[in-house]
């Protein structure tokens, strides 16, 4: 009898686990809406050593900090400043609009959100390798009211005696 009870408990547990939403299968329709940023964590490592870990909480953000995903798979990302380990930098008279509002097309495959910029000239890149100003964050959490995105940038791959370096950004949002 104990064996059957244990087997029944295992089946029930597997059934509940099987019903849990798999974040690995995000659809673009779930993203549609305006998401206000409420938190940002910047985490830098060299090898396994944490060299910086900074978190900006809700009071660091304004109504200008949001991601807007539209039905036609277009998106707008707006920000009120640039965030770094030294704090938030706000430029009152920005020379270039894309520092603050950028337009994208987007797609979702599994838990990867791909954002392709549409309003920055092709010659402007984010690194010396000529990679375009695009983003591909991982969707860590998505439900009716919360969205969490994570980007990992490996900027110094392990090479002759150097430990690999990485910057991880985790962005937290609530739906409007």
Q: Is there a contact between 89 and 82 (Cβ–Cβ < 8 Å)?
A: yes
Question: How distant, in Å, are the alpha carbons of 79, 160, 167 from that of 47?
Answer: 31, 13, 11
pLDDT score of 82: 86
pLDDT score of 29: 81
Using the predicted structure, report yes or no on whether residue 61 has a pLDDT greater than 90.
yes
Question: How distant, in Å, are the alpha carbons of 2, 9, 17, 75, 121 from that of 6?
Answer: 6, 5, 16, 50, 63
Q: Is 10 among the domain residues?
A: no
Q: What is the mean pLDDT of the chain?
A: 78
pLDDT score of 168: 94
Contacts of 113-119 with CB under 8 Å at 24 or more apart are: 113/26, 113/31, 113/137, 113/138, 113/139, 113/149, 115/75, 115/77, 118/74
Q: Is 3 among the domain residues?
A: no
Domain span holding position 45: 27-175
Q: Is 7 among the domain residues?
A: no
3-state secondary structure of 168: strand
Q: Is 131 among the domain residues?
A: yes
Cα 34 vs. chain centroid, distance in angstroms?
15
CA dist., res. 37 & res. 18, Å (int): 31
Q: Is 158 among the domain residues?
A: yes
Q: Is 13 among the domain residues?
A: no
| pLDDT tens figures, 91-123 | 655 444 445 788 899 999 999 999 988 876 655
Q: How many domains does the chain have?
A: 1
Task: Find tokens 């609530």 and name the residue.
Answer: 174
| pLDDT tens figures, 114-161 | 998 887 665 555 544 555 567 889 999 999 999 999 999 887 766 666
Q: Is there a contact between 102 and 122 (Cβ–Cβ < 8 Å)?
A: no
Q: Is 83 among the domain residues?
A: yes
Q: Is 164 among the domain residues?
A: yes
Q: Please report, for the domain that includes residue 97, its CATH number.
A: 2.40.128.280
């Amino acid at each position: 009898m104990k064996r059957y009870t244990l087997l029944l408990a295992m089946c029930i547990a597997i059934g509940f686990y099987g019903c849990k939403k798999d974040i690995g299968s995000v659809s673009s329709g779930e993203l549609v809406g305006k998401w206000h940023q409420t938190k940002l964590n910047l985490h830098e490592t060299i090898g396994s050593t944490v060299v910086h870990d900074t978190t900006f909480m809700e009071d660091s953000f304004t109504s200008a900090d949001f991601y807007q995903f539209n039905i036609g798979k277009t998106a707008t990302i707006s920000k009120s400043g640039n965030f770094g380990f030294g704090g938030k930098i706000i430029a009152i008279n920005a020379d270039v609009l894309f520092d603050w509002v950028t337009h994208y097309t987007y797609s979702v495959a599994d838990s990867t959100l791909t954002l392709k910029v549409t309003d920055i000239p092709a010659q402007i890149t984010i690194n010396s390798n000529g990679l375009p100003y695009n983003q591909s964050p991982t969707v860590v959490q998505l439900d009716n009211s919360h969205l969490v995105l994570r980007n990992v940038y490996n900027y110094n791959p392990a090479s002759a005696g150097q430990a690999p370096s990485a910057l991880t950004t985790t962005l937290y949002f609530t739906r409007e």
